């Protein structure tokens, strides 16, 4: 999953980005002002936006309003230094999905981000199921037919994205855009290798049917045996 953190306090932005990269293993881009945030939203594909309100050049409220006016439905987590009920209601009415008041616990932020991404993908449960596969997102644990499947961090992220889009053909470019930050071009040649390893690991037994299929020239798809 790919997250945009919009925060002008450098140390806080670095701490949030590090926490999101290390715990859930998300790809994270950082913007330090409202104009930069909008420019990145127009050119990038994000699964979540963590948005501070007090920003240089363009306030967070205006960034949110412009995103929703352009029918951008990416979940938005608001960060605010002031707890104000009327302002919170106004932000939720404009299109915010959740908010946290500073200072906040990074563990709570991660949990809320995970929940927003799940809901944004149409799955509110922390356990996703597709055929014989179970993915426990909070524990980052995968089972197939009740047996544990040991995955690398990148393999897990690929499967998590595909689990959010079962039976849908997902192109390599789409995977790269959602799994990596703006340096994703450097990773374009490794997706095939990760996919090959992931396919092998999802076979519980030597003759087990594949649940991950490759459509040449189109992409990848989870299919139910």
In this predicted model, what pLDDT tens digit does every residue of 102-157 receive, in sequence order?
A: 888 998 999 889 888 887 776 656 788 888 888 888 788 898 888 888 888 788 88
Q: Which CATH class is domain 127-222?
A: mainly alpha
Counting beta carbons within 10 angstroms of the beta carbon of residue 41, is it exposed (0 to 12), middle (13 to 18) or buried (19 or more)?
A: buried
By CB atoms closer than 10 A (0-12, 13-18, 19+), residue 190 is exposed
Q: Is the confidence at residue 184, as pLDDT, over 70?
A: no
Q: 127 is written with which tokens?
A: 């356990």
Q: What's the pLDDT band for 214 if we cut at 50, 70, 90?
A: confident
For the chain, the domains span 2-120, 127-222
Rounded Cα distance between 53 and 49, Å, is 12
User: What per-residue confidence (pLDDT) applies to 5?
Assistant: 96
Please state, as a whole number, how many other Cβ atoms lie within 10 Å of the Cβ of residue 21. 14
Tell me what pLDDT residue 67 has: 92
Distances (CA, A) of 128 to 13, 165, 173, 192: 30, 11, 24, 24
Whether pTM exceeds 0.75: no
* Alpha helices (H) in 81-217, listed in sequence order: 85-94, 106-120, 153-164, 172-179, 191-201
Query: Is residue 71 helix, strand or coil?
Result: coil
Query: Which CATH number among 3.30.1330.10, 1.10.940.10, 3.40.50.300, 3.40.50.2300 corresponds to the domain 2-120?
Result: 3.40.50.2300
């Amino acid at each position: 999953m790919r997250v945009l953190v919009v925060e002008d306090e450098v140390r806080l932005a670095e701490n949030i980005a590090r926490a999101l990269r290390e715990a859930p293993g998300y790809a994270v881009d950082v913007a330090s002002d409202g104009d930069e945030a909008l420019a990145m939203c127009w050119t990038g594909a994000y699964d979540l936006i963590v948005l501070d309100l007090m920003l240089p050049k363009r306030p967070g409220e205006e960034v949110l309003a412009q995103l929703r006016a352009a029918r951008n439905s990416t979940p938005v987590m608001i960060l605010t230094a002031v707890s104000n009920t009327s302002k919170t209601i106004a932000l939720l009415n404009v299109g915010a999905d959740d908010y946290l008041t500073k200072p906040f616990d990074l563990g709570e932020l991660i949990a809320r981000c995970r929940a927003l991404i799940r809901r944004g993908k149409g799955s509110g449960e922390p356990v996703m199921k597709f055929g014989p596969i179970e993915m426990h997102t909070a524990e980052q644990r995968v089972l197939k037919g009740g047996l544990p499947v040991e995955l690398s961090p990148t393999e897990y992220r690929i499967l998590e994205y595909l689990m959010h889009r079962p039976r849908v053909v997902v192109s390599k470019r789409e995977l790269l855009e959602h799994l990596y930050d703006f340096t994703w071009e450097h990773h374009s040649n490794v997706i095939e290798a990760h996919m090959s390893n992931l396919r092998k690991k999802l076979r519980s037994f030597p003759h087990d049917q594949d649940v991950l299929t490759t459509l040449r020239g189109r992409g990848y798809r989870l299919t139910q045996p």
